[in-house]
Copies of this chain bind each other. A is one copy, B any other.
Amino acid sequence: MSGTSLDGIDVAIIDIHDKKITPVAFHSIPYPKAVREALLSVSNNITHTATIARLNFLLGALYADAIHETARRKRILLKSIDLCGMHGQTIFHEGQQVEYLGMRVASTLQIGEAAVVAERTGIHTISNFRERDMAAGGKGAPLVPYVDYLLFRHRRIARVALNIGGIANITVIPASAKPSDIIAFDTGPGNMIIDTLVSHKTQGRQRYDRDGRIARASKIHPRMLEAMLSDPYFALDPPKTAGREQFGHEFASGLIATGIPIDDLIATATEFTAQSIALAIPKTTELIASGGGIHNRQIMRRLRELLPHLAITTTASHGIDPDAKEAIAFAVLAHEFVKGRPANIPSATGARHPAILGKSSPS
């Protein structure tokens, strides 16, 4: 898995036996600086076709190296691995159709050549999971809800899986749910506003509010918070997607321009994040959190206060490293592909029907 933050490559090795999913290894390898810069330069930008073609093959080699390295550290033989699920690096995503050359087109573009991964690891590789959902009229995202369903469904307990990344999203899994019962959507901002404000405050020396300490020590600005929570996004019915542009640099710049002290803005943004998540959580029994935001103690403290009747845990209580969940998800999706099982949740992506997701590159 390589996320849109362009940090690098997350490799999860898991064991799937019947319906039991057991994590075996997890390792993150940062992109070399030059590669990260090249990816930034091609993502949703003007570039030369050659750069995209070359990066596609180069990323394939880096992904293969990352698999070798992760297996080596845990003394796992590559030949004992049956299957690889490769998300690739998203360099363009447009989930809503646009008018293009007289047709209506939604599209997505992930690079990282699966043929190179299969060749260099000898592992059967499944890639390109989002395209088929979009071909079936979906937005190609989110795809993790199906895996949340496999990991966390329960006969008698209704659960919510919450992931706090840049954006926060939830998967609602009613007791005894079938895939079609799942509801999944973005609740709004995750760490995105907080991280941008902290980067601004520290001129890039710090990129997040460690343990939520700044927020904890500063004052919430009540009118600003109220204004933020009146955003019409929160009144929309799911499925809905919070755009990365919606709570990104422009949003943070608007906050900074108010002249309110930056620490108070961080406290306010943290409260905004916690409240907008809490608002979205339906009546359930358990909340299972993952993503970088779980390390922000102020967000987690406020969630516990705002949702006092909910048992709040992280995926760690279920044996899943909260930082590894997304990488694990694409390994699970690869397994669903070879089993011939559809893995999109039409109620979450908007697709017309369930579809088998992925393309297969033989070992």
Contact = CB atoms under 8 A, between A and B. Distances in A.
Nearest to A62: B103
Contacts of A340: 362
A172 to B, nearest CB: 28
User: How many monomers of this chain does the complex have?
Assistant: 2
A114 B357 CA distance: 12
A119 B355 contact: yes
B102 A131 contact: no
A8 to B, nearest CB: 15
B56 A109 contact: yes
Interface in A101-155: 101-103, 105-109, 113-116, 118-120, 127-128, 131-132, 134-136
A170 to B, nearest CB: 27
B105 A54 contact: yes
A34 interface: yes
A317 interface: no
Interface of A: 32, 34-35, 38, 42-50, 52-54, 56-58, 60-61, 91-92, 94, 98, 100-103, 105-109, 113-116, 118-120, 127-128, 131-132, 134-136, 340, 355-356, 359-362
7 contacts: A44-B49, A52-B52, A54-B100, A57-B106, A57-B135, A114-B131, A127-B359
9 shortest A-B CB distances, which residue pairs? A119-B135, A115-B131, A53-B109, A53-B107, A115-B132, A360-B360, A53-B92, A57-B107, A359-B359
